[in-house]
Structure 1
Amino acid sequence: MSGSMRLDSPRFGDSTKTPELDPWLLWPAVALLLIGLVMVYSASIAVADSSRFTGNKQEFFLIRQAVFLAIGGVAGLMAFQVPVRTWQAWSMWLFLGGIVLLLLVLIPGIGSVVNNSRRWINLGPVNLQPSELVKLFTVLYAASYIVRRLPEMHSFRRAFVPMALVILFVGALLVAEPDYGAFVVIVLIAFGMLFLGGINGKLFFSLGVVALAGFAIIIRFNELRWGRFIAFLDPFNNDPLGKGYQLTHSLIAFGRGEWFGVGLGGSVEKLLYLPEAHTDFLLAVIGEELGLFGVATVIGLFALVVHRCFAIGRRALLLERAYAGLVAQGVGIWFGVQAFINMGVNVGILPTKGLTLPLMSYGGSGILVNCIALAIILRIDWENRR
């Protein structure tokens, strides 16, 4: 009984009862959050200074991002207090709640339209983006699903089909917004976790080919997506002032940065040339101001975070804590995939899509959910050590 009480009530700072939190996860994640805060401020100054919405205050996005980080930190501390078994018990209800939010965002009057996309629910001073919550809920639900179906993971009909139908339904809601970036991330999270859960390798490969074909069809028969894809192949010659505009200016930013950048605050592309510089294209501003050194540092920090997620998950699996292990590795897949896609878009190796850089880009929903996810991983690690 006393051991159960200690497991449910971790005490920070009590070295005799609570092992130290994993520094190789905690500090790289904190570094990414703080670097993101600084770079969001640098990248958003021109936008904030020129917009009536911000009251022409250069610090507008800095203040809001700092508030988001504070809220995310408090939410993370609260999430850390929740035992992993509680997340497992509530995983299905959280996932269903996420689906309800995705339905609500499509209702006119509830969902807010920005840049021809209906992705947000207006909550007064802030907007809630349900797709960010659904990424975390997908990890929690997929881990629970796999644990319940472990004896049947070799079966296509019993293991794969039910999960695939659920994810396709969620994907249909995301495509209706539209939010193709979130759709891709959630599909890859679910597929990746099924693979880790032991689904047949040949089946997994075959389904991957089918999924790629499906994405190709979605791109080919959507005029906007196809136009962006064509522009992505050669942005400087294929509509550089239209569909290739963001990518051309992103590449110019990286080119100006060279090895060590033009200096913090010295970006020219952020001066209303590069759209979404403080969200989707934050890495381009980092590349321009801090150069290859700055970009490599960010990549290295993300690599550490993802590695520790998988290491903590592997440790949990060795301790026969299957749900905890799958959740940790699922978050690693999520952060790794989303960071890779965002970076790939910024440097021009992937077609342009609206997807933020985890832990760094401006946005309350993303920062909040990322902090909660990190807290859950730290909780898993803490329980592993008990």
Structure 2
Amino acid sequence: MLTTTHNAAAFAGHPAGNRKRSNVQATFDHALLMAVLIIMGLGLVMVASASISIADRQLGEPFYYLFRQGLYVVLGLGMAAVVTRIPLDVWERISAVLLMIGLLLLVFILLPGVAREINGSTRWLSLGLFNLQPSEFMKLFVIIYLASYLVRRGDEVRTTVWGFLKPMLVLVLAALLLLLEPDMGAAAVIFATALGMMFLAGVRIWHFGVLLLLIAGSVVTLTITSPYRMERVTAFLNPWADPFNSGFQLTQSLIAFGRGEWFGVGLGGSVQKLFYLPEAHTDFMFAVLAEELGMFGALAVVLLFVFVAVRAFRLAGQARQLGLDFAAYTAYGISLWLSMQAFINIGVNTGVLPTKGLTLPLMSYGGSSMLATCIAVGLLLRVDIETREAWVRSVDVKRGGGR
């Protein structure tokens, strides 16, 4: 924790920054941390509510998923605390190693007899008491690697086609491995996050235009040539055409939203979680939340995610102004990842987007998702710490020069 007697409130945009002398403790963004903790706490409550029936029926232990999620939260917060103490230049130096580890895990999971198959997908490595989902950590590894690449090759990325395409080739390899699982949702999040980071780094617009056309063509081709993806698209367009088969998940989710109305049926009062809504404690937990807490509860969650994204973007902008490019790109990437995945999950629950197997960050049940996201939050807090330190040093230099 960083402590300084300088006027650090000015850096945070606080009105106290206009004062000539003020003793302010500069640590990390407590508002950001508080928003994250509120989201995680609400997630625990909703995991308990959404999973109690299915856990009792399948395992004979109503709070099985709650206890496990609580363990993941404790481990995640511990890992986040450790990450806040690791300098960012360490992450920058090992960025390529992290990317290679992620790619090797994605290859390893595709080997026959290695991965655990759940609902037709081979995305998990069984580690005894814990199932590791490499794609969750791959999202973070790609952000760290790309942030490092943009620092080292920023001019090349912005001025040449080849400089832009080189990191894209790495992303294509990762996406292909993810599609083989299959995990199109994770591939989409990784690609969209990377493109957003490169756009913020100043890549030329026409480069994006060409790439987006190629991606759009690839998505259409993958959808048309894959029966299960085509089924998801048709169910998304008209779920009520087959409400007991292909459109079952979406119709049950929409029923949950309808039952919730403005103020909800009350915590624990959801009917849809009682074996009607599949994956009620994972992919479709937001629908249960909307049923029990109503439209106001759902909007509160949306606003919390918006707050986290805006706060992280603001932090990235401050880091960039101080010349901390790796910190800035990392914060941009994490903000894009969390907000985009939250948007997709909520969009799927509300029928705005086709069904994807993506969790709601920091809320849905899932160990890999919780741990990877907590590490990302720890990185955001570390970015804030180092940005404040850099600002204090710059103030010291200016004051020293003015004496």
TM surpasses 0.5: yes
What secondary structure sits across from 2:177 in the alignment?
helix
CA distance in 2, matches of 1:99, 1:17: 44
Matched letter for residue 59 of structure 1? F
Where do 5+ consecutive residues of structure 1 fail to align? 1-9
Matches within 5 A, 1:198-277: 198-237=202-241, 239-277=242-280
Q: Which residue of structure 2 aligns with residue 334 of structure 1?
A: 337
Is 1:300 the counterpart of 2:307? The answer is no
Is 1:358 the counterpart of 2:365? The answer is no
**Would you say the 8 A contact 1:25–1:308 is kept in 2?**
yes
CA distance in 2, matches of 1:13, 1:343: 41
Q: Which residue of structure 1 aligns with residue 55 of structure 2?
A: 48
RMSD (Å) for aligned C-alpha atoms: 1.7
Q: Which residue of structure 2 aligns with residue 4 of structure 1?
A: none
Please give the per-residue CA displacement for 1:156-215, whole angstroms capped at 9, x wherever unaligned: 433221111111110110000001110100111111111111110122133223212211
**Would you say the 8 A contact 2:286–2:346 is kept in 1?**
yes
**Would you say the 8 A contact 1:24–1:304 is kept in 2?**
no
Q: Which residue of structure 2 aligns with residue 21 of structure 1?
A: 28
| Distance verdict in 2 for CA 1:266–1:87, change over 3 Å | same
Deviation at 1:17, TM superposition (A): 9.8
**TM-score, with structure 2 as normaliser:** 0.90
Q: Which residue of structure 1 aligns with residue 66 of structure 2?
A: 62
CA distance in 1, matches of 2:323, 2:3: 26
CA distance in 1, matches of 2:139, 2:196: 13
CA distance in 2, matches of 1:289, 1:159: 50
Deviation at 1:110, TM superposition (A): 2.0
Matches within 5 A, 1:367-378: 367-378=370-381
**TM-score, with structure 1 as normaliser:** 0.94
Aligned with residue 286 of structure 1, among 285, 289, 300: 289
Where do 5+ consecutive residues of structure 2 fail to align? 7-22, 390-403
Q: Which runs of 4+ in 1 moved over 4 A?
A: 11-18
Deviation at 1:307, TM superposition (A): 0.5
**Would you say the 8 A contact 2:257–2:294 is kept in 1?**
yes
Deviation at 1:11, TM superposition (A): 6.0
- How many aligned positions are there? 373
Deviation at 1:306, TM superposition (A): 0.5
CA distance in 2, matches of 1:70, 1:83: 23
Aligned with residue 132 of structure 2, among 123, 128, 139: 128
What secondary structure sits across from 2:355 in the alignment?
coil
Deviation at 1:36, TM superposition (A): 0.3
**Would you say the 8 A contact 2:161–2:207 is kept in 1?**
no
Please give the per-residue CA displacement for 1:44-98, whole angstroms capped at 9, x wherever unaligned: 01110110xx3x1000000000000000011111111100111111111011101
CA distance in 1, matches of 2:70, 2:135: 22
Please give the per-residue CA displacement for 1:115-160, whole angstroms capped at 9, x wherever unaligned: 1110001100110000000000010001011111111123443322
Please give the per-residue CA displacement for 1:315-367, whole angstroms capped at 9, x wherever unaligned: 00000001100000100000011011101100001011111101100000110
**Would you say the 8 A contact 2:76–2:371 is kept in 1?**
yes
CA distance in 2, matches of 1:14, 1:83: 22
Matched letter for residue 37 of structure 2? V
**Would you say the 8 A contact 1:319–1:384 is kept in 2?**
yes
Deviation at 1:291, TM superposition (A): 0.5
CA distance in 2, matches of 1:92, 1:31: 34
Matches within 5 A, 1:136-175: 136-175=140-179
Matches within 5 A, 1:171-210: 171-210=175-214
What secondary structure sits across from 1:202 in the alignment?
helix
Deviation at 1:249, TM superposition (A): 0.1
Q: Which residue of structure 1 aligns with residue 44 of structure 2?
A: 37
Matched letter for residue 256 of structure 2? A
CA distance in 1, matches of 2:163, 2:310: 27
**Would you say the 8 A contact 2:3–2:26 is kept in 1?**
no
Q: Which residue of structure 1 aligns with residue 324 of structure 2?
A: 321
Identity %: 45
Deviation at 1:42, TM superposition (A): 0.3
Matched letter for residue 142 of structure 2? T
CA distance in 1, matches of 2:26, 2:236: 49
Please give the per-residue CA displacement for 1:11-31, whole angstroms capped at 9, x wherever unaligned: 699998962321221111111
CA distance in 1, matches of 2:33, 2:5: 18
